[in-house]
Amino acid sequence: MRVLSSTYLLFVYLPLLAVGVRARKLLGYSTIADRYVYDLIAGSWGNGVSVPSERLLVRMVPRPDVSFVLEADEKRILNDRPEHSLEYIMNEKHQYSRLVDVFRLKKVSTDDPPEVVWNKIVEEIELAIHCSPPRTIVVGSQS
| pTM greater than 0.85 (yes/no) | no
One DSSP character per residue, 60-124 reads HSPPPSEEEEEE--HHHHHHH-TTS-HHHHHHHHHHHHHHHHHHTPEEEETTS-HHHHHHHHHHH
In angstroms, how far is CA 44 from the centroid of its own chain? 14
Q: How far apart are CA 90 and CA 95, in angstroms?
A: 9
**pLDDT (tens place) for every residue of the chain, 143 residues total:** 767 877 787 788 878 888 888 888 888 877 777 677 788 778 777 776 665 566 776 777 777 778 888 889 999 999 989 999 999 899 989 988 888 888 888 888 998 899 999 999 888 888 877 775 555 555 555 54
Sign of CA dihedral 116, 124, 13, 27: positive
Nearest to 69 by CA among 143, 140, 136: 140
Helix (H) or strand (E) holding 33: strand 31-33
Kindly list the distances between the CA atom of residue 112 and the CA atoms of 53, 80, 117, 123, in Å, as whole numbers in the listed order.
39, 17, 6, 15
